[in-house]
A and B are shown apart, each in its own frame.
Chain A
Amino acid sequence: MLGMLKGLMTTMQSHFRKPVTIQYPDERPDLPPRYAGFPGLIWDANVGEPFCTGCQVCARFCPTQCIYVTMKDNPKVGDGTSKRRKIVDEFELNVSCCTQCAVCVEVCNFDAIEMTHTFEMASYSREQVMNLQDMLSMKEKGGP
């Protein structure tokens, strides 16, 4: 009986403690800076283009092969505004198989990709999941 009473007292005490949960959509979770959501490219505000040169190292190292990148000649090289000769043309992330492992961030030679804080990926269809990358708008870095 005593052990049971001890348990009952414990639950009674915790009944008067403050709840630890948050009301999610109203209150947002407090994410630390390193929080790894989906990877996203970073925007070079000094030049007005992404840092990414489309070198495909992330696509090669991705354990689930969910990144697709193509490269093109940088049009801004001609007028001297940019030093990047090649620049990313298309960057696609298959959100439905990305595991947020951050290997792409680690292998990137240009520090052009980082883990965003995007974590809400619930959607009604597979197509919508593929389109979620619209949410991953490029984060600006640098700038005047």
Chain B
Amino acid sequence: MLQTKLRPLPPAAYARCMAGIIRREGLRWVHQRGRFVSALVRPLVWLAIFAAGFRFVLGVSIIPPYETYIPYEVYIAPGLIAMIELFNGMQSSLSMVYDREMGSMKTLMVSPFPRWFLLLSKLLAGVAVAVVQSYIFLGIAWFWEIEPPAIGYLAVLPALILSGLMLGALGLVMSSFIRQLENFAGVMNFVIFPMFFASSALYPLWRVKESSLFLWWVCQLNPFTSATELIRFALYGRVDWMSAAVVIGCTVVFMAAAVAGYDPGRGLMARKAGAE
């Protein structure tokens, strides 16, 4: 009964591994009720408060994909969804750092499956959670008169998955070089808020361009803008190809960086001056 012969891992086994990782992330998410609530409360609070305060930011233009004037809540909805995914990516990142400190990362790392596959599974687990959260947000946002066409609710799914992958992969990269839990908050602040505010999430870019060309460039280059626009157009049944390309490109880059970061040859584990 003992294994002494070399046996390649069948594809079914890969599927089981991925399912197991996703299940474990799901269980942890469900157990941490605080995370669940705050993940929803946060964008809803922003929706209520920002929309109330920034009503007159929008200005006169009709912005595509919208065909008429829209209330501010409708405009910021895609940005808030992207924010859910960004926070989710950061949360997954935090969990990875926590796992590393608490030791449960080792359970993952001694799995015989290739490391890139394990990381990808973790990523997909995070994306699954983010997508669920996003749909719940959309459901509640309906009461704020954020009513995209029915097609939008389906068309937005690929956009949610792609954006979730990109922002989750960003989280993975970050977790590979943040060594301690305490450092996490600082790095997060340097990532989350600049990404969110220097984007088209809260204001249309033509407005930013009016006040500062430099800032406009930053917003244009910010992958979060692409994620937001991808979601915005998808909610109205349209594809923003440019944004999709940027999101996919960044996902690949971030993922590659994450796999490199977690590589046992050079990665996080090696640099930690071991317990012995």
Partners in one complex: no
Chain B interface residues toward A at CB < 8 A: none
